[in-house]
Amino acid sequence: MTRLPIERIRNLGIIAHVDAGKTTLTERVLLFTGRIHAAGEVHDGTAHTDHHPIEQAKGITIMAAAVSCDWRDHRLHLIDTPGHADFTIEVERSLRVLDGAVVVLDAVSGVEAQTETVWRQADRHGVPRLVFVNKLDRPGADLARCLREVDARLGARAVAVTWPHVVDGVLVGVIDLVALEERRWDPGGGDQRRPATELSDNLMAARERLLDACADEDPAVLEALIEGREVTSATLWAALRRATLAGRVVPVACGAAYKDVGVQPLLDAVVALLPSPRDRGDVHGVDGGARPPDAAAPLAALAFKVVFDRHGQLTFVRVYSGVLARGAQVRLARGGRTVRVGRLVRMFADQREDVDRLEAGELGAILAVPITGGDTLSAPAQPIVLEAIATPEPVVRVAVEPVTGDDRERLPLALARMIAADPSLRLESEPETGQTLLAGMGQLHLEIAAERLATEHGVQVAIGRPAVAYRTTLAGATRLDVEHARQTGGPGQYARIVVELGPAPRGAGLVFEDRVRGGAVPRPYVAAVEAGVRDAMRGGVLDGYPVVDVHVAVVDGATHVKDSSELAFQLAGARALRDAAAAVGIVRLEPIMRLEVTCPEVEVGAVLGDLARRRGVVQAVDVRDRARVVRAEVPLAEMFGYAGALGALTHGAGRFVLEASRYAAVAAPPRSGLAA
């Protein structure tokens, strides 16, 4: 593919709730941009981006897939992400490196639970986005309701740029609200346009909302509207672009991807409204450095994903500045080592296209170089450290047992590679039995992890019953004077620290402070104390569950001229946390899940009563046509077996979505059972 100027690059993700039609939309994008000659279908297992055998068998996206295509002299680097909450890490690391996003809504279901989750993720990364309301050909589809839900539930100012064109109850095309044109597509893909002459009340209201948004951005538009003059489409697009990049407006396009309706106007909106890497500005490092989005600047790139296959390790990278070239020496922030870049490729799902270089604004991958996901690649003489990728805390865990002796030998390496590729998986150990435990975001996540161990790594495992992945934190605050002294005949170990320890706010992790004055404890030793505390938190204290949300401040200490070392202070830090737990006690924390139940109106009372028995806190009950949508927070321990219970309560008509929300102190003894 010919390299284009950075201003003509769009790096975007397709994000949504499960079954909203992301992959189907991606297939149509590839088809209409000429990248493929025939669109694959999710239900047939032929979608290009769902290339993994497990994805094809289950009909869902599990791993984010990157593809590239061209539209109107622009290069689109597009990542199709999973919609299931268990695979939220794929969305997180994709949004971390992308410049824009298209959020897909099901026109019948509207804004759903996972829609809110991916929206918050995009907010956290400051990613401008468009909305595509899909499946408008289905009974019960309602674009106006979807717009209201985007406003109310997502807190955005939704502005429609296209509107469904329905004739005799059939979706035949869309109305372009910017140009006021009817757009239809013939079976050969031809784009038929003609002026929109008959505008319904809904269309007029949507057009007025669009003009109001543009008038807020451009005084010239406001002046023209007041004077009754026409405003050109180019002027409206320019105003919408400014509002979109600033996050003041979320443009909404619509259609039915499966029926090939509305995809081309969406592509037009992507090119016109979403940012280029240049628009996103300088990338800033946590070390205070900054790099402009320019190929002439020093290299700054982020390794955002690692994959292992039969060819070895494949590391996905986003180049923010400079050039990543084949054969070049680059510095890795973690460990400060320098590696040589071997083979570089641009990805198209599971296909690879060799390239000599990746320039600022481009996405690609490095083959066969040991790089950790989340690491920064930079010019050796001008290093920078970019912000790492946030990893969610797992909420469910299972025991993992190899089936044969050969499996037992290969399991440690296979698990290490699995966790490198998917950091939302964690390895833990059962203190009493010594069993290996694999923790993840949900039962589906862990089931697929076991399947991937077999299909990708050739290791067969048996998994145990799912259990809640509890966490603990300190029950109170304390001040300790900890001395670690050991003499073994040779060089000894000595460290003394005075520390204050206590609970930190939920979700804070380890909050560590160095309050030592006068150099009583050198900084390298203080850093070793922090490392020791982190080690103890991972291993757990008292009951074996990992410790979270702890505040530690080192206020004083002492060293020995010969026997002090970083190891001694690391051991002192670990002991300090154990001693604090023994002194003040610990609080067990349980995962609280965000639950959304859709059920018939007549069954909503039974659903609410059941949630009350499960310690659920109902947050809202919404009306969606003749159904009711119940949104609540419920402890995960109370949700084992919920699929069967909901089916019995609603005579098989209810459905639910469950995703991790937060951790909270255990308020009642957990129930037992298998996860649904």
Q: Check whether 556 has a pLDDT greater than 70.
A: yes
238 domain-assigned: no
Distance spanning both ends of the chain, measured CA to CA: 46
pLDDT at 433 over 90: no
Q: How confident is the model at residue 601 (pLDDT cuts 50, 70, 90)?
A: very high
Bigger pLDDT: 307 vs 676: 307
Q: How many helices (H) and strands (E) does the chain have?
A: 16, 37
pLDDT digits over 198-212, tens only? 788 889 999 999 999
| pLDDT surpassing 90 at residue 565 | yes
**CATH code at 603?**
3.30.70.240
Do 150 and 17 lie in a common domain? yes
Lowest mean pLDDT among 189-193, 602-606, 618-622: 189-193
**Is 223 within a domain?**
no
Neighbours of 491 (CB within 10 A): 10
Domain that holds residue 357: 286-378
User: Are 37 and 184 in a shared domain?
Assistant: yes
- Residues 6 or more apart in contact with residue 289 via CB below 8 angstroms: 383, 384, 385
Does the pLDDT of residue 245 top 50, yes or no? yes
- Binning pLDDT at 50, 70 and 90, where does residue 196 land? confident
> Is the predicted pLDDT of residue 488 greater than 80, yes or no?
no
Q: Are residues 304 and 274 in the same domain?
A: no
- pLDDT at residue number 113: 85
What CATH code is carried by the domain that includes residue 315? 2.40.30.10
In a domain? residue 387: no
Assess if residue 233 is contained within a domain.
no
pTM of the model: 0.85
Sign of the CA dihedral running 352, 330, 307, 392? negative
Instruction: Give a yes or no: residue 546 inside a domain.
Output: yes
User: Is residue 271 located within the same domain as residue 294?
Assistant: no
C-alpha to C-alpha distance for 381 and 131, rounded to whole angstroms? 42
Question: Does residue 427 register a pLDDT over 50?
Answer: yes
Q: How much is the pLDDT for 672?
A: 41
CATH number for the domain that contains residue 54: 3.40.50.300
What is the predicted pLDDT for the residue at 634? Answer: 96
pLDDT surpasses 50 at 673: no
- The domain that holds 565 is classified in CATH as 3.30.230.10
Q: Report if residue 363 sits inside a domain.
A: yes
Let me know if residue 1 belongs to a domain: no
- Asked whether residue 261 falls in the same domain as residue 374, the answer is no
How many domains in the chain? Answer: 5
Q: Looking at the predicted structure, is the pLDDT value of residue 639 above 50?
A: yes
Give residues with Cβ within 8 angstroms of 652, minimum separation 6.
none
pLDDT, average across residues 656-660 = 87
The set of residues, in sequence order, having a beta carbon less than 8 Å from that of 113 and lying 6+ positions away, is 17, 85, 594, 595, 596, 631, 657, 659
Mean pLDDT, to the nearest integer, of 550-567? 94
Instruction: Round to whole Å and give the CA distance between 19 and 25.
Output: 11
Of the three residues 444, 469, 494, the one that is the final residue of a domain is 469
Provide the residue count of the chain: 676
Does 550 lie in the same domain as 405?
no
pLDDT at 675: 38
Instruction: Kindly report, residue by residue over 439-472, the tens digit of the pLDDT.
Output: 999 888 999 999 999 988 999 999 988 889 899 9
Of 264, 279, 294, which residue sits at a domain end?
A: 279
Q: Are residues 548 and 622 in the same domain?
A: no
Alpha-carbon span 452 to 460, nearest angstrom: 9
Q: Mean pLDDT in the chain? A: 91
The answer on 64 and 193 residing in a single domain is yes
Give 69-73 contacts, CB < 8 A, sequence gap 24+. 69/29, 69/30, 69/33, 69/34, 69/35, 70/1, 70/33, 70/34, 70/35, 71/33, 71/267, 71/270, 71/271, 72/267, 72/268, 72/271, 73/4, 73/8
Phi, psi (degrees; rounded to nearest 5) at 86: -65, -20
Q: Tell me how far apart the alpha carbons of residues 540 and 439 are, in angstroms, rounded to a whole number.
A: 15
